[in-house]
Amino acid sequence: MSIGHIKTYYSATRNDTTEYPALSGTIDADVCVVGGGFSGVATALSMAERGYSVALLEANKLGWSASGRNGGQVIAGISGEAEIKRQLGKAGAQMLRDIRYRGHDIIRERIAKYGISCDYKDGWMEAAVRPKHMDHLRAYVDERIEDGDGSHLEVVEPDQMPAVLGTGVYAGGMIDRRSGHVHSLNLLMGEARAAASLGAKLFENSSAIEIGGGAKPFARTEQGRVNAKFVVLAGDTDHNFRRGRLRGQLFPTGSYIIATEPLDAATAASVSPQDLAVADSNVVLDYYRLSADKRMLFGGRCNYSNMDPSDLTQALRPRMIEIYPQLAKARIEFTWGGRIGIVLNRVPSIGRLEPNLYYMQGYCGHGVNATHIAADIVSDAMCGSAERFDLFDRIRHWQLPVGRWAGNQMLALGMLYYRLKDTL
């Protein structure tokens, strides 16, 4: 059964409506990628660029899940950096510096090389919800400058905020001029088109129901099979494949977005004079930006128990207006939600499940950049350069010995603690 994209701002404004066929019969490929989000498409394109034959299997439509529904924020680094440094020491710290903007560079290079129209724009800000949060931001910028990697970072003191954001709710912030925002579904579809142009075979409505590594890796669907040299589980894996190191490691979490009607030029300028993507400094955070056609895309309300709000507009609009009263009369034209993958130690999970069977998942809300980093790391490993892959493969992840529902309730209780800290 074909499942199309849900109604979102992204699906309503996509500029590539290519339909890819379902897999039928048996084919051979060097690499079989399972998953048609950013992880899978970026891997398919990376391997096709290196001259490998690639087959990609997507259960629904390319970009159907988080990659086609997210906030479109391209944020530096990955989640869980403190844990990586704790476990890997100097080697981990050096790797983090090396990969911090690797996803950004890949995205920019592909936009230019393949002519991808996706509204990419530089400029991202972390806004301090409380004055004490500024201490952390100042220290972070100082550390990055001392490390020789902070010339594009700016501390915004409270008296400077009116020139940056048209709201008085924040105590300052930090701007990263190398990070930014993008129409995520158009980026993904452009990368898919590029992979196909290099010979990659992309299949939609082709859910993998069995996979195997070892001497003869393969992936099987109801109607076909791919025999390959490597299989890559790209993105949040189906429960059927959650075995061994993947069991009890990842938990889906709901996140939600509303999009207003296009704002007039004066209102848009009053909201975001510098057209930045913004995320606040809370653990359970708000995130938002203006789209290319000047809609406010406002997200948040992460729900770790996966109990979706009954009315997304009512759940998100009051908070948007609290931050920006000038949007009180703006009509909400789109509302949607989806699931992001959360791993308990917040470090993206990149490793090998069996010989020649790789996986990458659990970006904890930092997926646009981190997926491209993960795809690059796994692609390098398949091509024989495994230094960064081996570091990630060494990271110890927590695994809860309970089912997904119970795990989500435990996660929700833990995050309630942080939400109370945010509030108090």
CATH code where residue 246 lies: 3.50.50.60
Burial class (CB in 10 A: 0-12, 13-18, 19+), 168: exposed
Phi, psi of 8 (to 5 degrees): -140, 170
Distance CA 59, CA 223 (A): 12
Whether residue 312 lies inside any domain: the answer is: no
Distance separating alpha carbons of residues 408 and 305, to the nearest angstrom: 5
In the predicted structure, residue 300 carries a pLDDT above the cut 80: yes
Share of the chain above pLDDT 70, in %: 90
Q: Which residue has the higher pLDDT, 413 or 143?
A: 143
Q: Looking at the predicted structure, is the pLDDT value of residue 409 above 80?
A: no
Q: Which segment of 56-70, 215-229, 336-350 scores lowest on mean pLDDT?
A: 336-350
Say if strands 121-127 and 54-57 run parallel, antiparallel, or are unpaired: unpaired
Q: Which residue has the higher pLDDT, 197 or 310?
A: 197
- Span of 31-45, 220-234, 353-367 with lowest mean pLDDT: 353-367
Q: What is the pLDDT of residue 365?
A: 84
**Domain encompassing residue 38:** 9-70+185-250+345-401
The DSSP string of 143-161 is HHHHTT--TTEEEE-GGGG
Mean pLDDT of the chain: 91
Q: 246 lies in a domain?
A: yes
DSSP character for 219? E
Structure tokens belonging to residue 214: 């070892």
The answer to whether residue 79 sits within a structural domain is no
Domain membership flag for residue 197: yes
- DSSP track, 178-192: EEEE--HHHHHHHHH
Whether residue 97 is contained in a domain is answered as no
pLDDT score for 416: 43
Residue type present at position 306: N
Whether the pLDDT of residue 22 is over 80: the answer is yes
* Distance separating alpha carbons of residues 379 and 153, to the nearest angstrom: 30
Name 305's bridge partners.
none
pLDDT at 140 over 70: yes
The verdict on residue 32 lying in a domain is yes
Helices (H), 13-80: 38-49
**How far apart are alpha carbons 374 and 317 in whole angstroms?**
34
Which of 118, 22, 109, 33 is closest to 68 using CA atoms?
118
Determine phi and psi for 24, rounding to 5 degrees.
-140, 125
pLDDT of residue 283: 80
pLDDT attached to residue 413: 45
Question: Cα 421 from chain centroid?
Answer: 25
Domain count, the chain: 1
Whether residue 279 is contained in a domain is answered as no
> What is the predicted pLDDT for the residue at 241?
67
Comparison of pLDDT for 403 and 44, the residue scoring more = 44
In sequence order, the 6+-apart residues with CB closer than 8 A to the CB of 133 are 171, 281
Is 384 a member of any domain?
yes
Mean pLDDT score, 395-414:
57
**What integer is the mean pLDDT of 276-290?**
94
